[in-house]
Amino acid sequence: MVKIGNIELGDFPLLLAPMEDVSDPPFRAVCKQQGVDMMYTEFISSEALIRNAESSMQKLDIYDYERPIGIQIFGENIESMREAATIAENAQPELIDINYGCPVKKVACKGAGAGILLDIPKMERMTREIVNQVQLPVTVKTRLGWDDNTIQIQEVALRLQDAGIKALTIHGRTRKQMYKGVADWNPIADVKNHPDIEIPIFGNGDIDSPEKALVYKDKYGVDGIMIGRAAIGYPWIFRDIKHYFATGEILPEPTLSERIDVVKKHLNFSLEWKGNKTGIFEMRRHYANYFRGIAHFKPYRSQLVQLEDTQALFDLLDEIGETFSVVSDL
């Protein structure tokens, strides 16, 4: 049984990565319905939280059906991160997660996210301060290093564990790689196999199929897997992996009817959470991913991202279901 503090996550948990502009409550809801074990909010700026910025405060929204869930925060100032951790704790998640992995220039080049990998002593101090600030378990998500010349992930893991974190997720790329190239899980395995590591170690990067999930599980010995981009437009990835682990059977792709059903659920959650105008707008980024691989779908995709009336959207989804009876080229 994998545990983060007192949170029980099963024998080999599947985690949904915190993705900016993706991992909001509507997206998390459909992933939860497909079997994900643990989820995180989008990463939230500590400075924005302590300023009470509306958009950041809304990212604290969590619902009982999402649990267990962690709120992820990022920032470069230790005092601001301490204050933000308290604000996040008051939203009553199961844990607080610190982002030490975001590679985006506007974050990393200010010393936040993956930028703190250039100052490991500061990373340790910040982590210890946050752990001491809150009562909830604190976890971290990070990368292998800033670049190939600064990979010190074993030292990082040991220092963060000593600072009091209860689990560590490692993305198998450096900040310099961004999301390019192949994720290297060998350093992740080295951390997991280190004799002094006692906390759960989760691997992240490039898991996009049940077969790969099983290979990486067996080869690298991690305690669980975090999945990000592969779940966008395909929340069934969690269901598929669990079924494959249990039976060795690859489930068929979801039918068009199943896809439309999940899109409708996702849209409904979006409308309920953000209201009609914003809910419709924010759902537009997902349609292409849900329906990718369907030949001659472009005209319908154009309509989906232009319609501003909720009933018209649902009517169009019904029309898509009647027009395309077979999902091809997946």
- Which of 215, 247, 279 is at the close of a domain? 247
Per-residue tokens: 319: 């029309």
Q: What is residue 261's predicted lDDT score, i.e. its pLDDT?
A: 96
Q: How many domains does the chain have?
A: 2
Q: Which residues of the chain have pLDDT under 50?
A: 326-330
The three-class DSSP label of residue 117 is: helix
CATH number at residue 114: 3.20.20.70
Q: What is residue 84's predicted lDDT score, i.e. its pLDDT?
A: 97
Contacts by residues 293-298 (CB-CB < 8 Å, ≥ 24 positions apart): 293/327, 293/328, 293/329, 293/330, 294/256, 294/324, 294/327, 294/328, 294/329, 295/328, 295/329, 297/324
Per-residue tokens: 244: 């494959």
* Peptide bond preceding 93 in cis form (omega within 30 of 0): no
Question: Structural domain of residue 216, as residue ranges?
Answer: 3-247
Q: What is residue 325's predicted lDDT score, i.e. its pLDDT?
A: 63
CATH number at residue 276: 1.10.1200.80
Q: Name the active-site residue from 102, 117, 160, 199.
A: 102
Q: Which residue has the tokens 């300023």?
A: 51
Tell me, yes or no, whether 193 and 307 share the same domain. Answer: no
Tell me, yes or no, whether 294 and 261 share the same domain. Answer: yes
Whether this prediction's pTM lies above 0.85 is answered by yes
Residue 102 among the catalytic residues: yes
Burial class (CB in 10 A: 0-12, 13-18, 19+), 17: buried
Give the DSSP letter string of 70-91: EEEEE-S-HHHHHHHHHHHHHT
Tell me, yes or no, whether 89 and 114 share the same domain. Answer: yes
Q: What is residue 327's predicted lDDT score, i.e. its pLDDT?
A: 45
Tell me, yes or no, whether 35 and 80 share the same domain. Answer: yes
Maximum alpha-carbon separation in the chain: 59
Q: What is residue 323's predicted lDDT score, i.e. its pLDDT?
A: 84
- Which of 227, 247, 267 is at the close of a domain? 247
Tell me, yes or no, whether 101 and 242 share the same domain. Answer: yes
Q: How many whole angstroms separate alpha carbon 117 and alpha carbon 106? A: 15
Please report whether residue 148 resides in a domain: yes
The three-class DSSP label of residue 264 is: helix
Q: What is residue 54's predicted lDDT score, i.e. its pLDDT?
A: 87
- Which of 247, 268, 293 is at the close of a domain? 247
Q: What is residue 293's predicted lDDT score, i.e. its pLDDT?
A: 85
Q: How many whole angstroms separate alpha carbon 43 and alpha carbon 20? A: 6
Please report whether residue 328 resides in a domain: no
The torsion of the CA quartet 218, 223, 226, 230, rounded to 10 degrees, works out to: 20
Residues 6 or more apart whose Cβ sits within 8 Å of residue 84: 44, 45, 46, 47, 49, 50, 73, 75
Tell me, yes or no, whether 315 and 197 share the same domain. Answer: no
Please report whether residue 329 resides in a domain: no
Q: How many whole angstroms separate alpha carbon 239 and alpha carbon 39? A: 15
